[in-house]
Amino acid sequence: MSHRDVTLAWVAPLLLVAIAAVAVVRNHTVDQSPWQGVGFGMFSSYDYLPSRTARLTATVDGETRPVALPGDLRDELERVLVAPGDGHAEALATEVMARAGAEAIRLEILGHDVDDTQDGLRITLVPVRTVEVP
């Protein structure tokens, strides 16, 4: 085998190892979902944008109540739902708190938990990440 053939034989395995390494690092540093295309898990997971939702509650004058997300923050919420790392989630919660005139905001990212029971599939919402500001 020529040197070129040996080099080409190593290209694919090294590329796959590099992709897997990036997936592991991104998962641990920014809690990135496999569905963002960062790893091979995207082919084996239902964990993608539509499988998550958010719940916002505000404390105003000592009373806790649900609060709606301002429409112009939907893109930021989508980024948080796809990769619910603390940085983006805290920034979003802080912005909502300022706009709502609240003393505190609780942002809960909820995902789906799927169980195969005797009665069929059971889907429940489970907390993925909770951010509270201040």
The torsion defined by the Cα of 30, 33, 34 and 39, in degrees rounded to 10, comes to -10
In degrees and rounded to multiples of 5, residue 41 shows phi and psi of: -65, -15
Q: How far apart are the C-alpha atoms of 6 and 121, rounded to whole Å?
A: 49
Q: How far apart are the C-alpha atoms of 114 and 88, rounded to whole Å?
A: 27
Q: Are strands 120-133 and 52-60 parallel, antiparallel or unpaired?
A: unpaired
Q: What is the mean pLDDT of residues 19-28?
A: 81
Q: What is the mean pLDDT of residues 61-74?
A: 93
Tell me the whole-structure pTM to 2 decimals.
Answer: 0.63
Number of H helices, E strands in the chain: 3, 4
Residue 27 confidence class, pLDDT cut points 50, 70, 90: confident
- 79: which residues sit within 8 A by CB, 6+ positions away? 88
Q: How far apart are the C-alpha atoms of 120 and 48, rounded to whole Å?
A: 22
Q: Is the dihedral of CA 70, 63, 55, 88 positive or negative?
A: positive
* pLDDT of 50 strictly over 80: no
Q: Does residue 92 contact residue 63 with C-beta atoms inside 8 Å?
A: no
Tokens 């040996």 belong to which residue?
A: 6
The pLDDT of residue 98: 94
pLDDT over 70 percentage in the chain: 84
